[in-house]
Amino acid sequence: MNKKKSIFQLLTEKPWEKDQIEADNQHQGQTVNLSKQKLGLRTIMAASTVLFSLFIVAYSDRMLISDWKNMPEPWLLWLNTSILIISSLVFHKTTKYAQNDIFDKTKNGLYFVGFLAYSFLIGQLIVWYQLMNTGHYATTNVANAFFYLFTTIHGLHIVGGIYFWGKTTSKFIKRSLKKEEINNLIDTCAVYWHFLLAVWIVLFGLMLSS
């Protein structure tokens, strides 16, 4: 297939020259050797990274103003973080099972990942409940407002992930796709899980360190 080229190489091709014409006629029409789901996920992850970075910039800027009061750090957040880490690890393991064609273990792995994702969301809601019970509303201080905002946006990303996890799992159980196709979907979901873990660790670290 087409050799890997850097963006610079791609942009300096001279499409009108004889050698280039011959090389170009061999081209298969794909720029990178990735499935459209995987490349699509990368595009979405790039956009999400920009989104979260801008939130972080806004957070850091707003922090400097004197009315800022740090929020308490409920211990439950540590539990939720470890749930997310475990779900990422399980998902990684599941992709290996899927590659080796072990149907039962893959199925159980997928179910467990879903269970952990739901537990994480419920855990986050309990944290909200605890905070509100102790009088830390979004209006009390902007630090709390940022916490609610971050957890909501991150949670919505997880909900989106659960939607695609559900579609993938049902396709896997119905065995309606070829092996490479279903593995491609499982891998794509797993990458998204790792991404959301990374985002959460950055956000959590930011809130801990400030």
Partner 1 sequence: MSDEYEHKLEAKSDYTTDASSVSAPEIDSVPEAELPDQELYHSHSWWTTYVFSQDAKYIGIQYALTAVGTGLLGLVLSWLMRIQLAFPGLGWLDPAAYYQFVTMHGMIMVVYLLTALFLGGFGNLLIPLMCGARDMAFPYVNMLSYWAFVVAVVVLLASFFVPGGPTGAGWTLYPPQAITAGTPGSDMGIILMLVSLILFVAGFTMGGLNYIITVLQLRARGMTLMRLPLTIWGIFTATVLAMFAFPALLVGCLMMTLDSLLGTSFFMPAMVSLGETLTHEGGSPILFQHLFWFFGHPEVYIVALPAFGIVSDLLSVHSRKTIFGYRMMVWAIVGIGALSFFVWAHHMYVSGMNPWFGFFFATTTLIIAVPTAIKVYNWILTLWRGNIQLSLPMLFSLGFIVTFLNGGLTGLFLGNVTVDVPLSDTYFVVAHFHMVMGIAPILVIFGAIYHWYPLITGRMMNETLGKIHFWITFIGSYAIYFPMHYQGFVGVPRRYFEIYDSPYIDTSTLLLNKFITIAVLIVGAAQLLFLYNLITSARLGKKSEKNPWKANSLEWQTPQMPPEHGNWGKELPKVYRWPYDFSVPGAKEDYIPQNQPPSEIIGAKVEKT
Interacting residues toward partner 1 by CB under 8 A: 1, 10-18, 21, 24-32, 34, 36, 39-40, 43-44, 46-48, 50-51, 54-55, 58, 61-62, 65-68, 138-139, 142, 145, 149, 153
Q: Which is nearer to partner 1, 53 or 82 (CB)?
A: 53
Token pair, residue 72, equals: 């308490």
Q: Which is nearer to partner 1, 90 or 142 (CB)?
A: 142
Distance in Å, CB of 173 to partner 1, minimum: 22
Q: Which is nearer to partner 1, 94 or 124 (CB)?
A: 124
How many whole angstroms separate alpha carbon 188 and alpha carbon 95? 10
Burial class (CB in 10 A: 0-12, 13-18, 19+), 158: buried
How many whole angstroms separate alpha carbon 122 and alpha carbon 128? 10
Strands (E), the chain: none
Distance in Å, CB of 107 to partner 1, minimum: 26
Q: Which is nearer to partner 1, 28 or 209 (CB)?
A: 28
Q: What number of other Cβ atoms are within 10 A of residue 157's Cβ?
A: 19
